[in-house]
Amino acid sequence: MHTRRQLSLLACALGLLAAAAPAGAQGPYPDHPVKLIVALPAGGGVDMIARLVGQKLAAITGQPFVVDNRAGASGRIGLPLVAKAAPDGYTLMASPASFLTTNKSIFKELPYDPQADFAPITKLADQAIVLVVKDKEKFPSAGAVLAAARARPEGLTYASSGDGSPQHLAALMFETRTKVRMTHIPYKGGALAINDMLGGNVDLLFAPLPEALPHIKSGKLAALALMSGKRSALIADVPTMREAGIDNMVFQTWIGLLAPGRTPRPVIDQLNRQVHAILQGADVRSQLHEAGMDVAPTTPEQFGQTIAQEIALHAELVKAAGLVPQ
């Protein structure tokens, strides 16, 4: 009788554990390898942080987190693979902001819904935007750039990695909020834009700090102001736009971790906790800092709010520039 009661209690306990387990999970999550999709080529900032976080998650969980690079078409190859994946926590993605925010405004159709098809887990890192020039004698400050732009409508040229890129949107914010007009020179990628800046073929560039930092450190480019709410310890002598006398000018890019929509909340919460702990590690903070990034852990809700707010902001900037969705 005693044995029968024990077996009954054990069966109830197992039933409760099964009910609490995430949908599709067999025991503790994860119990087999997890795919981590990056919709960009290997070697860039998003790929770097995905591999770093993936290695740390593997060490914590005992299961591989395998980075799968699916580059091309501004994220429209890689992101649908995550959107259509089983919502069980075994397919995740590390994504730059633009694939979730700007794409909504610059493409007529997307093979994914940036909000409905993904479950935000946490932001991973922020990347400040910095205004850089080649000729600091000509443009000694952000105020000097603004004065020149006002004196010569469309006379100044700025580079970007393409229409709707973070560099372009940052410049559009500068134009619309200071009521100046400059000439946009788009390139097929950030490296080409930087190269023409180094060659003196364009006047200025609003660049993500990781892209510009090596050239700032070498003295080949001069940093005039950061489009952020605070200075960066990496270039501590460079003021924010507000400090430079140009207010209401905060724009930055970020990298985030997401899962397919409808992924069970226990999985989202577990990953959020584990990644937060990883981002607080001194070695991780140091590696990202040296790459020009700041760790930026958030709750899933905060991350979702950021995506929603920036979709609206980027739509406003794209509309103001008269860009036609392609």
Looking at the fold, whether 91 and 107 belong to one and the same domain comes out as yes
Looking at the fold, whether 233 and 295 belong to one and the same domain comes out as no
Looking at the fold, whether 138 and 242 belong to one and the same domain comes out as yes
pLDDT, one tens digit per residue, over 24-35 is: 444 699 999 999
Burial of 233 (0-12, 13-18, 19+ CB in 10 A): exposed
End-to-end CA distance of the chain: 73
Phi, psi (deg, nearest 5) at residue 48: -60, -50
Looking at the fold, whether 95 and 139 belong to one and the same domain comes out as no
pLDDT interval class at 283 (50, 70, 90): very high
Q: Are 99 and 79 in contact (CB under 8 A)?
A: yes
Given a cut of 80, is residue 20 above it in pLDDT? no
d(CA 32, CA 86): 14
Mean pLDDT computed over 103-108: 92
pLDDT of 23 reads 41
Mean pLDDT computed over 42-71: 96
* Full domain range(s) for residue 296: 31-127+253-321
pLDDT of 27 reads 67
Looking at the fold, whether 133 and 113 belong to one and the same domain comes out as no
Which runs of consecutive H residues, i.e. helices, occur in 62-91? 78-83
d(CA 105, CA 137): 37
Looking at the fold, whether 122 and 261 belong to one and the same domain comes out as yes
Which of 252, 280, 302 is the last residue in one of the domains?
252
Looking at the fold, whether 43 and 152 belong to one and the same domain comes out as no
Looking at the fold, whether 136 and 243 belong to one and the same domain comes out as yes
Looking at the fold, whether 134 and 247 belong to one and the same domain comes out as yes
Summary mean pLDDT of the chain: 90
Given a cut of 50, is residue 7 above it in pLDDT? no
pLDDT interval class at 80 (50, 70, 90): very high
pLDDT, one tens digit per residue, over 107-139 is: 999 999 999 999 999 999 999 999 999 999 999
Given a cut of 70, is residue 13 above it in pLDDT? no
d(CA 312, CA 101): 8
Q: Are 177 and 249 in contact (CB under 8 A)?
A: yes
Looking at the fold, whether 136 and 245 belong to one and the same domain comes out as yes
pLDDT of 19 reads 37
Structure-block tokens of residue 274:
């584990």
Looking at the fold, whether 135 and 240 belong to one and the same domain comes out as yes
In a domain, 6, yes or no: no
CA distances in angstroms from 118 to 12, 37, 165, 295, listed in the order given: 34, 13, 22, 21
d(CA 60, CA 74): 32
In a domain, 220, yes or no: yes
pLDDT of 201 reads 95
In a domain, 87, yes or no: yes
Compute the half-sphere exposure of residue 288: CA atoms within 13 Å on the CB side of its CA.
28
Mean pLDDT computed over 244-249: 95
% of the chain beyond a pLDDT of 90: 81
Which of 226, 252, 278 is the last residue in one of the domains?
252
pLDDT of 11 reads 44
pLDDT, one tens digit per residue, over 153-169 is: 999 999 998 888 899 99
Which of 198, 233, 252 is the last residue in one of the domains?
252
Q: Are 250 and 228 in contact (CB under 8 A)?
A: yes
Given a cut of 90, is residue 296 above it in pLDDT? yes
Structure-block tokens of residue 271:
């990953």
Given a cut of 50, is residue 213 above it in pLDDT? yes
pLDDT interval class at 322 (50, 70, 90): confident
Looking at the fold, whether 207 and 241 belong to one and the same domain comes out as yes
CATH number, domain with residue 67: 3.40.190.150
Mean pLDDT computed over 233-256: 95
Residue with the larger pLDDT of the pair 276 and 320:
276
In a domain, 165, yes or no: yes
CATH number, domain with residue 165: 3.40.190.10
Which runs of consecutive H residues, i.e. helices, occur in the chain? 2-20, 45-61, 78-83, 97-100, 103-106, 142-151, 166-178, 190-198, 209-218, 265-279, 282-290, 300-321
Given a cut of 90, is residue 2 above it in pLDDT? no
Structurally, the chain folds into a number of domains equal to: 2
In a domain, 234, yes or no: yes
- pTM, two decimals, is 0.85
In a domain, 216, yes or no: yes
Given a cut of 60, is residue 264 above it in pLDDT? yes
pLDDT of 162 reads 84
Phi, psi (deg, nearest 5) at residue 189: 120, 155
In a domain, 15, yes or no: no
In a domain, 19, yes or no: no
Mean pLDDT computed over 218-230: 96
